[in-house]
Amino acid sequence: MRDNPERFIESNTEISWLEYLNNMSMQGTWGYAKIIQAVADQLKLKITIAETHEGFREYSIIQPVSSTQQLTPVYLGHIDEYHYVSTLPCTSTSDFVEIYPEQSTQSSQPKQTRTQYINKYMKQKRANETQSPEAKEKRRVYAKEYRKRKQASGSSHSLALNIEAKQKKRLYAKEYRKQKQGSESSQPSPLSIEAKQKKKNARKGIYEA
């Protein structure tokens, strides 16, 4: 981002570019889309971000715009805007890469000062986002579409269950009728028994005569 500001600078209009980079380099700062894109470009990563908040997409894939190298997959969890969420256990820190070690002097600042600045920065950014009518409208439209897709998915699932239940009921009724017909055919009806008895009595009368 320092070497290729032309790719990212147009999306930042609030403060100077160097000031923005210095602020975002602080430990514990949230990673925005352009930061994650820069990380993917620099480290040749294919980053998949799983999302649970209904106002966002279910998942996002960020990878270098053009790369012929093999990309390393990385999976992150963004769960209701909590910090430090991972979808996999951290087993080792040996793979951590420091891109700009010469810029690490800011990490020596008191933790409380960094936390206060981050909170202030995030509060200001959220206020700017919520005050924008366009941002509100986009968020509302997306949330409406998300709920619509969710309801459609739930209704299709219920419809499939109803169809399956009806099919089972129909098969059971068919099998029941089949068994009932088989049972009735194996037992002589009262009419056939009476007819046989009359025929027998008639023959007996002929012999006696």
Query: How much is the pTM?
Result: 0.33
Q: How confident is the model at residue 132 (pLDDT cuts 50, 70, 90)?
A: low
Q: How confident is the model at residue 104 (pLDDT cuts 50, 70, 90)?
A: very low
Helix (H) or strand (E) holding 12: none
Is the torsion defined by CA of 7, 10, 11, 15 positive or negative? Answer: positive
Domains and CATH numbers, the chain: 5-86 (3.90.70.80), 112-178 (no CATH)
Average pLDDT in the chain: 70
Cα angle 121, 127, 132 (rounded to 5 degrees) comes to: 130
Most confident segment among 26-30, 70-74, 190-194: 70-74
Q: How confident is the model at residue 188 (pLDDT cuts 50, 70, 90)?
A: low
- Determine the pLDDT at residue 10: 57
